[in-house]
Amino acid sequence: MSFAFPLASIALLAACSPSAPGAPEPTQAAMDAVPDLPVMGPERPILAFGDSLLAGYGLEDGESYPARLEKALRARGVNARIVNAGVSGDTTAAGLERLDFTLKSQTVKPELAIISLGGNDMLRGLAPQETRKNLTAIVERLRHDGIRVLLLGMLAAPNLGKDYAAQFNPIYPQIAQGEHVALVPFFLQPVIDKPDLVQKDHVHPTAIGVDAIVSATVDDVVAALPPQKSASPVPQ
């Protein structure tokens, strides 16, 4: 099951299923015109860890959020190298289970981890307290290793009811506040009610939709990075 989030109505939620259609007809995204410019300065390793919103469900190679975010950061002069560790269908429990292996697999310790998990928990109606516990454990594990965190927030589908939303929606801001990590309150906000920015499943963003999300979040990523160490002074 890949991650899905209803963008406008309950009907959109029902449109996503394990047999959701694949990518729409390829479109020429404006971001394709952005060259891969050389960037000076030390490399800034970033880990993108999450579900299909990071994995690039239904998109071509190079069109995922991590890939387009890397280009946007480099266009701003940030020598970013982003490892895409997104797995379609991951719940917070699955993410927590593979976190240690993922971290040990990195050739360089990330300076920042971008976390997008919890949407599949919500779609499956899993207990919000379990989502909170797992996400907190993920954030604590990363912080223990000295890795900064940017948490990408989600909101509960309206058909799950007010009670569920009242338990689920505060998870992200409360973890961010309690663990002192950066937060994007609602990752999918830039594509809400914009059918031209989502795929035929009415859920996952198109390449152009990813562009919109990158534009809306790149400043958050820059701010979440640790300060770059200045070069040592040249002896006189």
Is position 37 within any domain? yes
Is position 27 within any domain? no
Average pLDDT per run of 10 along the chain, which is 236 residues long? 45 37 40 56 96 96 97 96 97 98 97 97 96 98 98 94 98 98 97 92 91 98 89 50
Is position 38 within any domain? yes
The owner of tokens 């990518």 is: 23
Is position 211 within any domain? yes
CATH of the domain at 103: 3.40.50.1110
Q: Which of 52, 64, 88, 116 is catalytic?
A: 52
Active site residue 52: yes
Total number of domains constituting the chain: 1
pLDDT for residue 79: 96
pLDDT for residue 40: 74
- pLDDT tens per residue, range 125-168: 999 999 999 999 999 999 999 999 999 999 998 999 999 999 99
Residues 6+ apart with CB under 8 A from 72: 31, 34, 214, 215, 218
End-to-end CA gap in the chain: 62
pLDDT for residue 203: 79
Is position 157 within any domain? yes
Is position 233 within any domain? no
Look up the domain containing 55 and give its range: 10-16+33-224
Q: Which of 51, 201, 202, 211 is catalytic?
A: 201
Is position 22 within any domain? no
pLDDT for residue 201: 81
Is position 79 within any domain? yes
pLDDT for residue 209: 97
Active site residue 204: yes
Q: Which of 64, 121, 202, 204 is catalytic?
A: 204
Cα 128 to chain centroid distance, Å, stands at 19
Q: What separation in angstroms does the CA of 211 have from each of 34, 139, 191?
A: 11, 26, 10
pLDDT for residue 36: 57
How far apart, in whole angstroms, are the C-alpha atoms of residue 105 and residue 196? Answer: 37
